[in-house]
Structure 1
Amino acid sequence: MNSEICAEKMFVGVDVSKLTLDVFFPHKGERFKLANSEADVHEFCLRLKKEKRLLMVVMEATGGYETLLQSQLAKHKIEAAVVNPRQVRDFAKGVGSDAKTDSIDAQLISRFAAVVQPQPTAVKSEHEQKHAALVTRRNQLLELINQENNRLQQSWDDDAKQSIREVLEVLKKQLKSIDSQLAGLLATDLRNQRTIEILQSVKGIGPVTISTFIAELPELGTLNRGEVAKLVGVAPINRDSGTKSGKRFTGGGRGQVRRVLYMAAIVAVRHNAMIKAFYQHLKAKGKASKVAIVACMRKLLTIVNVLVKTNQLWQNKMSD
């Protein structure tokens, strides 16, 4: 009986902040705090290994503060998943918990993971971490450029306009520099070389999309089409209640991936014969342009996911 209980996976919830980690052990109902430091995280990993049971450490994405914990868990071969904070908050509301304290957050993360059963998050190499940092910075620059363009349209003063134009020039130069660096990282990424070659072969998929997939979607090729579509946020979700059936919608998921996938789908509709035919078929059926483009995003994502998965299966077969 005891062996059966120990065989059940335990989801350890960790609420991550810049300086501390708040931990919840569900099987003991135990909560404790440790420093987000290499020494404390190392000791935490050793304690986890002594549990002698299947477990997964689950934490929210925090923009980088979770990196130390995730990397140390990988070194100790302990499963870990980094989950979307919004999904945890939505789950908290769904179970009637609105309290916002660190210890409760850790418990909620554990409870969320036990219900959702998240997939382990792939750990990025140093090369991939740099790639991810540049992809993030590129998105920040695009947001800044958009903000400055809006200010330029709203400004009436010539001097203010000139100042905005000068800032825009600097931002665009930085964007060009980031794009150049990303292209260089793609060219020297030996770990993902075959995946990059496959993505480059798909019309509509350019260097920015490839960089974003490498940095923000390492699960590509490891999930089925429904799972990867849900992860990115392009899977249609039903909004039904009782006998009423509402419209399906998309949302959530990884916003950065979804944004570049949208642009890739726009290009693919013009230059990718398969996506172009699919788009025209949807339009002929009376689908709105926006709905058709989202469907094309899903189709394009499915294509690259299948290609990458097929290659991975072939490589595994050859290594055997």
Structure 2
Amino acid sequence: MDVVVGIDVSKDRLDVHVLPSGESFAVANDDESLDELAAKLLSLNADIVALEATGGYEMLAAAALSGAGLAVIVVNPAHVRAYANALGKRAKTDPIDAEVIAAFVAATKPAIRPLRDEENRALAALLARRRQILAMIAAEEQRTRMALAKEAQKSIGRLLAALRRELDSLDADVDDHIRKSPLWRVRETLLTSVPGVGRVTARTLLA
């Protein structure tokens, strides 16, 4: 049986559910924790990792996990909710959790189209540069706490502002890269592949 991982994404946290084992855990949504999560999911021989699209908070996780060699897709939360509603699992206004995301992907069995080598290299380069910028920001923030002279403080402030603008630019590049890649599946109508969920029902649930 395939090992399917559902990840419920928020700004600072990732809630993870693994099928068929039923294991659940949470990690921080940051670079260090994503490295640890990737290693854990690789050790579990995860066949597919699904994240819901949540206004961009999922982009770093999708990029990092895909870059680690995992098969990743980003799914539309409306589709996941419609799947849950169709099976009577939860009310329409209830939050989507990692277990439901995993169950949705296990039921719909979406085709996985891995990134091409050049896409992986480009994504890896963006993530590496992002980490460099984060390290530079951390170093300058540390200097801020040490610098006493106003002139030094002003210089550090200007550099921090520039570094944060560059970080925003890199995040936008990662976002754009993911949205144009095979990982991005929010427009696919996977619901109709679930037994008992026809096109009319799917359209009604997604309305």
TM-score category (smaller protein): 0.5 to 0.7
Please list, as runs of the form range in 1=range in 2, the aligned pairs for 1:197-236 lying within 5 A after superposition.
Answer: 216=179, 218-219=181-182, 231=188
2:50 maps to a residue whose letter is V
Is 1:19 matched with 2:30? Answer: no
- RMSD (Å), alpha carbons: 3.7
Unaligned runs of 5+ in 1: 1-7, 130-211, 220-227, 241-248, 253-320
Give 3-state SS (helix, strand or coil) of 2:32's partner.
helix
Give 3-state SS (helix, strand or coil) of 2:39's partner.
helix
Output one character per residue of 1:35-64: Cα deviation in whole Å (capped at 9) or x when no partner. 10111111011111112x352110111121
Unaligned runs of 5+ in 2: 127-175, 191-197
* One of 76, 81, 92 as aligned partner of 2:73: 81
How far the C-alpha of 1:251 sits from its partner, in A, is 11
* One of 77, 83, 90 as aligned partner of 1:98: 90
1:9 maps to a residue whose letter is D
2:17 maps to a residue whose letter is F
Question: Structure 2 vs 1, CA of residues 218 and 43 (structure 1 numbering), >3 Å: closer, same or farther?
Answer: closer
Is 1:62 matched with 2:54? Answer: yes
Structure with more of its chain in helix, by fraction: 1
Give 3-state SS (helix, strand or coil) of 2:5's partner.
strand
Give 3-state SS (helix, strand or coil) of 2:51's partner.
strand
- Alpha-carbon distance in structure 2 between the residues aligned to 1:65 and 1:121: 22
Partner residue of 1:153?
none
The answer (yes or no) to whether the contact 2:8–2:14 under 8 Å persists in 1 is yes
The answer (yes or no) to whether the contact 1:82–1:121 under 8 Å persists in 2 is no
Give 3-state SS (helix, strand or coil) of 1:113's partner.
helix
Is 1:114 matched with 2:71? Answer: no
Higher RCO (CA < 8 A, seq sep 6+): 2
How many residues are aligned here? Answer: 139
Q: Which of these two proteins has the greater Rg computed from alpha carbons?
A: 1
How far the C-alpha of 1:27 sits from its partner, in A, is 2.4
- Alpha-carbon distance in structure 2 between the residues aligned to 1:87 and 1:238: 12
Give 3-state SS (helix, strand or coil) of 2:188's partner.
helix
Give 3-state SS (helix, strand or coil) of 1:231's partner.
coil
Is 1:36 matched with 2:25? Answer: no
Q: Taking every aligned residue pair, what percent have the same amino acid on both sides?
A: 31
- Alpha-carbon distance in structure 2 between the residues aligned to 1:216 and 1:12: 20
1:70 maps to a residue whose letter is A
Output one character per residue of 1:86-119: Cα deviation in whole Å (capped at 9) or x when no partner. 10010010111225356xx100000000011123
Output one character per residue of 1:117-147: Cα deviation in whole Å (capped at 9) or x when no partner. 1233666756xx9xxxxxxxxxxxxxxxxxx
Please list, as runs of the form range in 1=range in 2, the aligned pairs for 1:1-320 lying within 5 A after superposition.
Answer: 8-51=1-44, 53-98=45-90, 100-101=94-95, 105-120=97-112, 125=122, 216=179, 218-219=181-182, 231=188, 238-239=199-200
